[in-house]
């Protein structure tokens, strides 16, 4: 959707046209997405856009909005278009090429918090592999101040820089350590919980994770991996081979993608 001179320069007309474009493109929620994009551009909540459809929009704003709608219609994620992501109450900056949290990321955070809170008193250490914009690591540091360190490993220097800026905004970088790398070997010490947001069995990154992870987990520690739908059995088998003495199972809640878990025995 480039700028259409025949569409009136009002909120309502621009939204209606954008919705038609997004419907034709087959996006999941065209009306909501149109409101989200225009609301972000104008700094106006959806309720205000809906209540005042005759409000004027400048030609420059309409041109920007049209470009955003075109990018969304082409399949680009909304956070990459707006440069902002809301995750578990955190407002995060996102670069256009930064990996976004997987759909099951919230469940990963909840499980990681549950596991760290089970650990005995002392140092609590967590590492995330493939941190992207830092959403999971930032949420862990934000919701569990008892964590001693959270290592966030990400191969993209640009994404890592943006993630560190997000950490600075929330004053969390004393707890967070941002590391350039592409696997657990980048983590300098064993941790209580190792988190991988997107685990695709039989890929190079998955093989690297499974080869390196055992040496980076403390006794009784756990590896939590977010899975794509339908990969539960394959992932559980891969984890069982990599952790022959661990308990391995898959956790899932309604509406959430499953998480595969490998817990090492605690021999203390």
**pLDDT tens per residue across span 197-225:** 989 888 899 999 999 999 999 999 999 99
> What six digits make up the tokens of 200?
């695709």
Residue 193 belongs to what H/E stretch? strand 191-199
pLDDT at position 253 over 80: no
Q: Which of 58, 63, 135 is nearest to 99 (CA)?
A: 135
User: Model confidence over 133-183: pLDDT tens digits?
Assistant: 999 999 999 999 899 999 999 999 999 999 999 999 999 999 999 999 999
Q: How confident is the model at residue 238 (pLDDT cuts 50, 70, 90)?
A: very high
The whole-number pLDDT of residue 221 equals: 93
**Residue with tokens 């990321």, as numbered in its chain:** 105
Rounded mean pLDDT of 17-35? 96
Alpha-carbon distances of 140 from 110, 117, 203, rounded to whole Å = 9, 12, 27
Please state whether beta strands 125-129 and 84-87 pair in parallel, antiparallel, or not at all (unpaired).
unpaired
Q: Which of 19, 22, 198 is nearest to 104 (CA)?
A: 198
150 three-class SS: strand
The whole-number pLDDT of residue 254 equals: 63
User: Domains in the chain, start-ordered, CATH in brackets?
Assistant: 11-82 (1.10.8.10), 105-263 (3.40.50.150)
Q: Which has the minimum average pLDDT: 108-112, 116-120, 246-250, 255-259?
A: 255-259
Q: Which of 192, 254, 189, 193 is nearest to 225 (CA)?
A: 193
> What six digits make up the tokens of 157?
């220097």
pLDDT at position 2 over 80: no
Rg (C-alpha) for the chain, rounded Å, is 21
């Amino acid at each position: 959707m480039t700028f259409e001179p025949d569409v009136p320069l009002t909120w309502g007309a621009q939204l209606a046209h954008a919705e038609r474009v997004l419907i034709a493109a087959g996006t999941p929620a065209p009306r909501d997405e149109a409101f989200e994009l225009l609301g972000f551009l104008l700094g106006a909540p959806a309720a205000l856009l809906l209540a005042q459809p005759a409000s004027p929009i400048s030609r420059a704003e309409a041109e920007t909005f049209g470009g955003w709608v075109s990018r969304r219609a082409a399949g680009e994620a909304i956070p990459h278009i707006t440069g902002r992501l809301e995750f578990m109450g955190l407002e995060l900056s996102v670069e256009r090429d930064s990996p976004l949290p997987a759909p099951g990321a919230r469940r990963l955070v909840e499980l990681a918090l549950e596991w760290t809170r089970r650990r005995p008193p002392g140092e609590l250490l967590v590492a995330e592999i493939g941190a992207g914009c830092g959403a999971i690591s930032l949420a862990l540091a934000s919701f569990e101040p008892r964590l001693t360190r959270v290592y966030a490993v990400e191969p993209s220097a640009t994404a890592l820089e943006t993630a560190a800026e997000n950490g600075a905004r929330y004053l969390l970088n004393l707890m967070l350590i941002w590391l350039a790398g592409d696997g657990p070997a980048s983590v300098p010490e064993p941790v209580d919980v190792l988190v991988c947001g997107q685990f695709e069995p039989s890929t190079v990154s998955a093989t690297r994770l499974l080869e390196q992870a055992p040496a980076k987990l403390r006794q009784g520690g756990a590896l939590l991996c977010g899975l794509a739908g339908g990969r539960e059995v394959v992932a559980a088998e891969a984890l069982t081979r990599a952790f022959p003495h661990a308990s391995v199972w898959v956790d899932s809640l309604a509406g959430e993608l499953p998480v595969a878990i490998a817990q090492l025995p605690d021999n203390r």
